[in-house]
Amino acid sequence: MNIIQSQADWLARAAEVLPGGGFGNFSNDIIIARGDRARVWDQDGKEYVDYLIGSGPMLLGHGHPEVMDVVLQQLPQGLTFFTNNTLGIELAEEIVRAVPCAEMVRFVSTGGEADMYAIRLARAFMGRDKMVKFEGGYHGMSAEAQMSLSPARQVNFPQAVPDSAGIPQSVADEMLIAPFNDLDYLASLLDEHGSEVAGIIMEPLQRVVPPEPGFLQGVRDLCDKHGILLIFDEIVTGFRLDYGGAQERWGVTPDIATLGKIIGGGFPLAATVGRADIMSHFDKAKVGADKWLMQLGTLSGNPIAAAAGLKTMEVLRRPGQYDQLKATGKRLMEAHDKALTEAGVDFRIVGDATLFDVVFAEGPIRNYRDTQRNDLGQLGAFNRVLRDKGILKAPTKLYPSLALTESDLTITEAAIEAAASAL
């Protein structure tokens, strides 16, 4: 049998059966064959230091031995049951201990599901239809989430712009869009529409753009003023910024939050969490048929993902883990700053030590429209050299991990210098 092994051959096969030649997630010009701690290898055997880490969930790196051990222990006991299981219950208990707003937990399989249910939950609890989201905020693939995620044209706020075909105009009519980090605009929007709004959904760290001092608390205060629910999408920031996520980092507690990525330890698992009175809408016996929010999922809370998530969270609770993660991220940020300053280009390092990237532009980066000033030519050239030098990252995001070694960081610093020099 002729076994096709080269990456080029596999990419050709992908083009025959996959739209766009890929899964729709990352660049379709690479096939990753395996990973180990902070390294991955493509189908041709080229080695990379991995700052993509599965788009965030592999905070401990690939194949962490303790996570692998608990997964291997569970595998012969059963993969999934479509019933409660003890590991899922234990994971829910730990989430409630860790996340300030979490009094109850409902598991799903993906972050997009968690966000969809969070929006539906706010509407069910409030009995209102309109939602507010911030331009450029990512909340999965639901019709509501695909409003003004990455609009190619700028329109006047609060008009929503669909980012996908196949979404009815009626969805756009129920979404109000605001600029991130602009409390004055949000206050004026809610003065006009607050009585119609069920909730505000937001990434507390929007992509890599951090909230300005007082912004999150200001949003919380406006929600309280108008009787609106606040939803933090912590799919990315949960258990990354700090153990308790953005809620712990900035001391602002939402009514509902969504979690994913890290809580599944690399397996499909996410959750919608929140106050008990709000979460009761998942319980038909408590709220009745008219107010009940139906939710089910074949793999929701499955024991493999729960085991991996529990062990990952146990490792993260150990002393010094977040100090190490932040120190690593700070070192990487400083390496970018030094190399790009010496290269004499306009740039800003935007984000947090646990999650950041470079924007090739002058001036402050406060919101989505500021990120659109990014010089895509310089960004593309910079990222291409990084890839050539063995660094794998997303186009506009870099995830540090706890698996990075001194050798990994030395390789990365050299690649950053080469990429900056190429500009």
Taking the alpha carbons of 38, 319, 262, 306 in that order, is the dihedral positive or negative?
A: positive
SS3 209: strand
Q: Is 115 a catalytic residue?
A: no
Closest-CA residue to 233 (of 137, 104, 366): 137
The DSSP code sequence of 114-148 is HHHHHHHHHHHHHT--EEEEETT----SSTTTTBS
User: ∠ CA 221-135-222 to the nearest 5 degrees?
Assistant: 10
Q: Return all residues near 356 (Cβ < 8 A) that are at least 6 apart.
A: 208, 329, 332, 333, 349, 350, 397, 398
Q: Is 322 a catalytic residue?
A: no
CB 367 within 8 A of CB 135: yes
CB 305 within 8 A of CB 261: no
How far apart, in whole angstroms, are the C-alpha atoms of residue 114 and residue 205? 18
C-alpha distance from residue 41 to each of 3, 49, 261, 280, 394 (Å): 19, 9, 22, 46, 16
Residue 53, phi then psi, degrees to nearest 5: 35, 55
Strand 348-352, strand 270-274: pairing = unpaired
C-alpha distance from residue 89 to each of 309, 348, 387 (Å): 12, 43, 41
Token readout for 380 is: 């593309």
Residue 27, phi then psi, degrees to nearest 5: -50, 135
- Packing angle of the helix pair 406-422, 321-343 (nearest 10 deg): 20
How far apart, in whole angstroms, are the C-alpha atoms of residue 374 and residue 362? 9
Which is the catalytic residue, given 233, 242, 255, 408? 233
Which is the catalytic residue, given 48, 138, 322, 399? 138
Which is the catalytic residue, given 115, 117, 255, 261? 261
Q: Is 29 a catalytic residue?
A: no
As annotated, the active-site residues are 138, 233, 261
